Amino acid sequence: MAKGTPTPWTYSLIRMLFRFVLKIFYGTIVVEAEHLVPENGACIVCANHSNSLTDALLLVTSVPSYRRNMLRLTAKSTQFGRKTFTSWLIESAGTVPIHRRKDFDGPVDNTEAMVSLVEALEAGDAVMMFPEGMSRFHPTIAPLKTGVARLASDVLSKHRNDTDFELSILNCSITYMHRQHWRSDVLVTWHPPIILSPQNNPELLKPVDYNAIRGVTNQIYQQISSGTFDSPSWNFVQLAKLAARMYAPLGTTMSLGDHVRITRTFLEAFKDAHEDNSEESQQVHPDTLKMTQLQADLKAYQHRLVNCGIKDDRVRRPLSRHEILRRMAIRLFWSCFLLSISVPGLVLWTPVFLTTVYAVHEFKKSGPIFDTFDEVAQYKLIYGLMSGVGVWLSGVILTFPFALITVFLIPATMWLTLRWTEDCVASSRAFIALFRLLRVGKPVLHQMRMQRNGLHGRIMDLAISLGLPSNPEQFFAEAGGIEKTGYFSIKRRRKRDWNETLRLYDKVDYPDDDS
């Protein structure tokens, strides 16, 4: 079996560099089932595509180097031949250019690209492709193109007489809690590879029936969509996340993967009810009506939480005025302390923040949300990297007599500052939430608690009917799925809420569905 082409040094450098950058930008990156990545042989890696170049960088860094030496990337042809850092990055990694119809006025020809991909697979390489065909800022996975299945058919047909030849299609689901926000979380889930061979899959040998191509494409879609959020509306995602938080409240010790799977379970139930309700029939099933009413009531409750500026957990667990004031004092002290020790490092971070904010602001003006927001994280990563390297080099030059010390001290200071700032913002966010809790007042809070109690009972009934554990807090505590991270760990902070970002407010809103 072919071992694959040697790894270019530029690829190794890029992988190491962006593993570091991604860990700075995202708070937690959880990779599940990496043992499913084939160690050798022809392999096509497929994933959902919602975050432009960031998706590719995430996959490159999520494939264990001890199982695969490299991934042969694909990217839109318009990214090549430009005098930009991004263009150099893509070309240096041995990326294959793909011509997209939307980028050209007339027909496009990808014959040369397909030949390059076939040759890479024959050499035993792993080739990365995004079957959606393009990155898009939408809550739903786009209808998959048949390019992956056709490529598999071409390779199998060339080896129709090789009884030992196998081709793996390795599918991956990428779930961003908030794809473009700093210090949010990401889940990467690998699925069991689809193994194809000339002997076992003669239907894919030329001349091939299009139904066989469509069948493989459907298999790819089923695996990818089974591990991430695939919704026709941002509204369903928002309601599913609220339902998941009410089902497994703050403090439940669960992994990011468990949180995503619970949220997805509610999301699929809401989608099914929506589809049943959309069907042209004279009578709607009572269960569908109950689900529709539950969604409406959840939306009203979410709207009320946003207006009051508090989280569901503040409604769930009532606190006395004295306890609120006591916790506010602790949060305020801790925030001020962390801010004070972070000031020197924040001076180093300031050029990075300003450069990134300006670059993203200018980029957003270049087009509508659906055509630009999928590249926001990419711009933040690239400009953050360049400005961060600039700060590091400037600091080393300005402290040249002590360069051997500052070459390590500057990045260490910036990393510790990031950790302290993250804790500072979390404490400040808690302080603000407690202050708002005081402003809400007991009568309104009592009404919201009654509203929540009614919703919680319905959510639990729905969860049990969907096969979820009846006691999530006990179940996930015994399952031991939470990452063991100490409170003062320099690696990352222990998150009790996977919805967190580095902001002074909770990120619960999404774009309008008509954006």
Q: Would 507 be classed as within a structural domain?
A: no
Q: Would 333 be classed as within a structural domain?
A: no
pLDDT at 84: 72
DSSP 374: G
3-state secondary structure of 97: strand
Run of H or E residues at 386: helix 376-398
Residue 269 has pLDDT above 90, yes or no: yes
Span 372-388, pLDDT tens digits: 777 888 889 989 989 99
Report d(CA 158, CA 147) in Å as an integer: 17
Span 62-87, pLDDT tens digits: 998 888 888 887 777 777 777 776 67
Give the domain extent around 50.
9-225
What value does the mean pLDDT of the chain take? 86
User: Among all chains, which residue has been given the structure tokens 């047909």?
Assistant: 157
In this structure, of 14-18, 165-169, 435-439, the range with the lowest mean pLDDT score is 14-18
Q: Would 133 be classed as within a structural domain?
A: yes
Q: Would 251 be classed as within a structural domain?
A: no
pLDDT at 117: 83
| Mean pLDDT of the region 234-241 | 92
Q: Would 233 be classed as within a structural domain?
A: no
pLDDT at 368: 66
Report d(CA 476, CA 478) in Å as an integer: 5
Residue 133 has pLDDT above 70, yes or no: yes
3-state secondary structure of 129: strand
Number of H helices and E strands in the chain, helices first, is 16, 9
Inter-residue contact 422 to 183 (CB < 8 Å): yes
- Kindly indicate the confidence band of residue 458, based on its pLDDT and cuts at 50, 70 and 90: very high
Name the more confident of 396 and 98: 396
Span 33-55, pLDDT tens digits: 999 999 888 999 999 998 888 99
pLDDT at 106: 67
Structural domain count, the chain: 1
Q: Domain with 70 in it: what CATH number?
A: 3.40.1130.10
Inter-residue contact 360 to 380 (CB < 8 Å): yes
pLDDT at 245: 92
Span 222-235, pLDDT tens digits: 999 999 999 988 89
Q: Would 17 be classed as within a structural domain?
A: yes
Q: Would 34 be classed as within a structural domain?
A: yes
Q: Would 414 be classed as within a structural domain?
A: no
pLDDT at 484: 53
